[in-house]
Amino acid sequence: MSVLVNKDTRLIVQGITGGEGTFHTSQMLEYGTNVVAGVTPGKGGQLYGGNEKDSFNREIPIYNTVKEAVEEENANASVIFVPAAFAGDAIIEAAEADLKVIICITEGIPVNDMMKAYAYVKEKGAVLVGPNCPGVITPGEAKVGIMPGFIHKKGTIGVISRSGTLTYEAVNQLTEVGLGQSTCIGIGGDPIIGTKFIDAIKMFSKDPETEGLVVIGEIGGNAEEEAAAYIKRNYKKPVVGFIAGRTAPPGRRMGHAGAIVSGGKGTAEDKLVALRSAGIHVVDNPADIGVTMLKALGR
């Protein structure tokens, strides 16, 4: 099974005519994702695709608003490639159109914009993944975002990560030892994100076919500690964990806006202690994720 996206996902691409939106829409279509519409204000009525060079050879209608796209194409999810200055409004527009899965790839969204967007998404009861994330993929069914599809393999291990590149590393390690993935979720590394570790873990706990989880965190905040406490109380399947940024000096942001240790909180050591106390199989090197999960599964 899967969480968030699957073969029944009918996807809108907000910002489909921009450089990133154009390129990654072609990649999602090549993978087999059911992209049903694009949205770019002022370009409604145009068509995306239909190029004979592309194996999918489909023309995707473009609409001026998300509401129009949802009404005309019966869409149920959106992926956002809108520039940072407008991405907060794009998230709100998707939620306002009653889309229940919204995945925002855009990085650099102003914090004030995200505070408003986050509050509105919660009010509408939608699931937001991101921003500043690589997206979500259910191997063999749907790729929503910028993840490289070829390294993924259909299977039973869920992956949740704050880091895009480490998501790919974890997936590659799992695939190399013969463990496929049920769904992989890149939650993003900004201070304000829609889906935290604990939210994603709860989603996977409802999927009986997910046999184990890989959780990849990093310094900053307390999301990993919250997730560890939840796992200790409620999640009984094997979990493999890794924390990035162990050598980062206090007060200096490393890569992600949320990856900063301040006031003595959010350190790698705090997170490692929490993960280990929850019975999570912690690895010191991401190259050990695959073999460690095999052992945790008793194989």
Active site residues: 256
- Residue pair 44/68 in contact (Cβ under 8 Å)? The answer is yes
Chain centroid to Cα 91, Å, comes to: 15
Q: Give CA–CA dist 269/243, Å, rounded.
A: 9
Residue pair 155/149 in contact by the 8 Å Cβ criterion: no
CB atoms within 10 A of CB 120: 18
In the 8-state DSSP scheme, what is residue 97?
T
- Distance, CA of 191 to CA of 214 (rounded, Å): 21
What is d(CA 259, CA 253) in angstroms, rounded to the nearest whole number? 6
Residue 229: Cβ-neighbour burial (10 angstroms; 0-12, 13-18, 19+): middle
DSSP 288: G
d(CA 105, CA 144): 10
Q: How far is CA 207 from CA 158, 195, 291, in A?
A: 10, 17, 23
CA distances from 194 to 71, 114, 243, 268 (A): 25, 9, 20, 23
